[in-house]
Amino acid sequence: MRLKIASLIFLTAVSTAALFAQQKEPPALLQSLIRSYSYPEAIRLADQLLSEDPARPDIMLLKAKALTGLFRVREAAEVLKDACRYDSTNLVILGELSDACLQAGETEQAIEACRRMVSVSPQNSFFRLKLANLLMIAEDYRQALDIYLALYKSDTSSFYVTKQSAVCFQEAGLPDSAILFCLKAITLNPHDAGVVGRLTNLYLKKEEVNAALILTTLYLGYDSVNKPILRQNGYCYYLLKEYPTAIERFRKAIDLGDRTRFTWKYMGLSFYKQDRYDSAAPFFREAYALDTTDAEIAFYYGVSAYRSGMVEEGISLLDRTVRLLMPSDQFLSTLLTEQAAAYSSNGEADTALAILLRAKELLPSNFILDFKIAYQYDYYLRDPWTALGYYKSYLEISRSTGDEKQDLPLHMSYREYAKNRVSEINRVKRPTPVQKKK
The CATH architecture annotation of domain 21-119 reads: Alpha Horseshoe (1.25)
What integer pLDDT is reported at residue 201 of this predicted model?
A: 97
What integer pLDDT is reported at residue 12 of this predicted model?
A: 45
CA atoms of 89 and 121, how far apart (whole Å):
9
- Please say whether the beta carbons of 73 and 99 come within 8 A: no
CA atoms of 69 and 323, how far apart (whole Å):
51
For the stretch 336-364, pLDDT in tens is: 889 999 999 999 999 999 999 988 888 88
CA atoms of 71 and 109, how far apart (whole Å):
18
CA atoms of 164 and 145, how far apart (whole Å):
8
The CATH architecture annotation of domain 276-366 reads: Alpha Horseshoe (1.25)
For the stretch 28-64, pLDDT in tens is: 999 999 999 999 999 999 999 999 999 999 999 999 9
What integer pLDDT is reported at residue 402 of this predicted model?
A: 54
Confidence band of 125 (pLDDT split at 50, 70, 90): very high
Q: Taking the CA of residue 97 as centre, how many other CA atoms within 13 Å lie in the half-sphere pointing to its CB? A: 28
What integer pLDDT is reported at residue 335 of this predicted model?
A: 84
Residue 24 pLDDT > 60: no
Comparing 323 with 417, the larger pLDDT belongs to 417
What integer pLDDT is reported at residue 327 of this predicted model?
A: 66
If you write DSSP's letter for every residue of 106-143 in order, what string do you get?
-HHHHHHHHHHHHHHSTT-HHHHHHHHHHHHHTT-HHH
Residue ranges of domains in the chain? 21-119, 123-189, 276-366, 378-429
What integer pLDDT is reported at residue 256 of this predicted model?
A: 96
- Please say whether the beta carbons of 110 and 98 come within 8 A: yes
Residue 19 pLDDT > 60: no
pLDDT, mean of residues 371-398: 92
- Please say whether the beta carbons of 228 and 193 come within 8 A: yes
For the stretch 289-338, pLDDT in tens is: 999 999 999 999 999 999 999 999 999 999 898 888 766 777 777 888 89
Residue 148 pLDDT > 50: yes
- Please say whether the beta carbons of 64 and 76 come within 8 A: yes
Pick one of 1.10.3720.10, 1.25.40.10, 3.40.50.720, 1.10.10.10 as the CATH number of 123-189.
1.25.40.10
Residue 436 pLDDT > 80: no
For the stretch 77-118, pLDDT in tens is: 999 999 999 999 999 999 999 999 999 999 999 999 999 999
CA atoms of 337 and 373, how far apart (whole Å):
10
Spatial neighbors of 380 by CB under 8 A, at least 6 apart, are 344, 349, 352, 353
Comparing 358 with 285, the larger pLDDT belongs to 285
What does the DSSP 8-state code read for residue 381? S
Domain 276-366 in the same topology as domain 21-119: yes
The pLDDT > 70 percentage for the chain reads 89
Q: Average pLDDT over the chain, rounded to whole?
A: 89
CA atoms of 48 and 141, how far apart (whole Å):
45
| Burial letters 35-63, b for 16+ CB under 10 A, else e | eeebbeebbebbeebbeeeeebbbbbbbb
For the stretch 204-226, pLDDT in tens is: 999 999 999 999 999 999 999 99
